[in-house]
Structures are given as C-alpha cells and as structure tokens.
C-alpha cells in the first residue's frame, strides 16, 4: 500500500486526467529518455561501470543497460536508491534541467572538502616541486658552489610546506589541528637551523632543540585556552531558552 502510494506521488505527472493516452505515452517516453541520460551521465562522472552500479543496487548489468537505453524505468524505491548512490535528489534523475538544490547537501559538502584537500595538496606539492627543480639545476651546474649540499633544498622545503598546511587548515579545516601543525613547524624550524649550522659551520649546536621544550609547553597551554565569548553565548542561550515557570 505504501509502495503504491509513493509510486503515485512520483509518477503523478503522467497520471493526469487531462492527458490523452497518446500524450501520456509521449510524456513517458520523454521521462524514460531523461532518466536514461541522467543515470548514464552520473555513472560516467563517477567513473563507474554498469556492472559496479548493478552490484550496488543488487540488479543485473543488463537492467542498468536497459535503463540507460531508455527502454525501462525502475521501481520508485530503486530510483531513490540510485539518487542516494549518486548524491542527488529523485527530482534530479527525472528532470532535464538541474538546479543546485537537486544535489544533496551532504554530497556537496563531501565534494567541497575533497576539492579543498586537493588544493592544499597541490600547493604543498608545489613547494617540493620547486625544491626538486633547484636540486636538479644546481646538480647540473657543478661550477656553482653552494655553502651546503644540494639535497638541503628538501630540508628547506619542509618548513614552508608546514606553513601552507597551517594556512589552509586555518581557512578551511579544523582549528584544533592548528596546534599540532604549529608544533610540527617549531620542530621543523629548529631542525633546519640545526642542520644548516652543522652543514655550513660544522658546529654541532644540539642545544638549540632545548628551545623546543618551552615552545611546546606554550603551545599545549595555548591549546587549553577557552573562548570566553562562546561560553557567554551558551550561558546566554540557556538563560533564555525557556521562560521561568510560575511557582504556586
């Protein structure tokens, strides 16, 4: 009964009484073609084969092929399952014109997070690309004398990479991870300074790592600070959540 009701709600557009039998057939053919095109495009966009989609839906790949050729339309429950698989609404599958609201919010959020992670990875990798380029150039130019070995370019790339991670995480990520990134940056800078002095001046200044101990303590204490505004907002909201009851 419930399944029949949902089917009527989904396909009510071609059950209208003001449509003739011929008009209904034309409308159904259009709907089959729209559904077929949308499913094929979404599957291709996800780089998914018909067999993989069929396995997710517990159908045969022949059924998927029929849907994508516009020869059949699955049951409403399967249409909903397909929409959930591709992160869109049922309306998206049945319309040729797509609006932003036809995409599910959680799927859009996943795409945004993925794009941000890719941007962060690209920016960080660019630093190492520059370090690799300098390494190759100065290895190819032995007449150019550097105060350090060419592999040291990779050591110098470490701190800028962590700085980029800190910047992008501050903009897009979880601020709680900033403290871990800052800790990594402190020790990376100390290690770079230590290796630079050791390489250029041949002096083992291991004591420089002692600076990392108070710096790490400051970072840990800093991470324990609470935002007073948030506490005040929560307290204000709890005080005004409900009116005081009259005591008789």
User: pLDDT tens digits for 81-125?
Assistant: 898 888 888 888 888 776 655 555 555 566 778 888 999 999 999
Q: Which of 66, 81, 192, 172 is nearest to 119 (CA)?
A: 172
| Location of structure tokens 């005081």 | 244
Is 89 in contact with 83 (CB distance < 8 Å)? yes
pLDDT at 106: 55
pLDDT at 115: 87
How far apart CA 219 and CA 161 sit, in angstroms, is 20
How far apart CA 210 and CA 202 sit, in angstroms, is 19
Alpha helices in 141-177 (DSSP H): 152-172
Mean pLDDT score, 31-43: 88
Beta bridge partners of 153: none
**For the chain, what is the mean pLDDT?**
79
Mean pLDDT score, 221-245: 58
> Given 3.30.360.10, 3.90.245.10, 1.10.3300.10, 1.10.260.40, which CATH number is that of 2-103?
1.10.260.40
Percent of the residues in the chain that have a pLDDT greater than 70, as a whole number: 74
- Which stretch of 20-24, 71-75, 144-148 has the lowest confidence by average pLDDT? 20-24
Name the segment(s) of the chain with CATH classification 1.10.260.40.
2-103
Answer yes or no: is pLDDT of 185 > 90: yes
């Amino acid at each position: 009964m419930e399944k029949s009701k949902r089917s009527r709600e989904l396909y009510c557009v071609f059950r209208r009484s003001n449509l003739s039998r011929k008009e209904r057939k034309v409308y159904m053919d259009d709907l089959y073609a729209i559904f077929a095109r949308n499913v094929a495009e979404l599957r291709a966009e996800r780089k998914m084969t018909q067999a993989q989609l069929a396995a997710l839906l517990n159908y045969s790949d022949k059924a998927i092929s029929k849907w994508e050729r516009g020869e059949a339309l699955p049951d409403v429950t399967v249409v909903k399952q397909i929409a959930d698989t591709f992160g869109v609404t049922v309306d998206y599958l049945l319309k040729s014109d797509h609006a932003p609201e036809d995409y599910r919010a959680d799927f859009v959020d996943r795409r945004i997070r993925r794009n941000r992670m890719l941007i962060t990875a690209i920016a960080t990798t660019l630093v190492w690309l520059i370090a690799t380029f300098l390494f190759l150039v100065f290895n190819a130019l032995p007449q150019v004398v550097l105060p350090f070995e060419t592999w040291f370019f990779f050591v110098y790339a470490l701190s800028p990479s962590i700085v980029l991670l800190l910047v992008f995480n501050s903009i897009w990520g979880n601020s709680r991870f900033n403290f871990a990134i800052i800790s990594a940056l402190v020790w990376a800078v100390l290690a770079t300074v230590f290796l630079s002095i050791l390489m250029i001046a041949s002096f083992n200044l291991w004591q420089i790592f002692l600076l990392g101990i108070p710096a790490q303590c400051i970072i840990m204490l800093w991470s324990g600070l609470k935002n007073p505004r948030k506490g005040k907002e929560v307290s204000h909201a709890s005080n005004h959540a409900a009116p005081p009851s009259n005591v008789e």
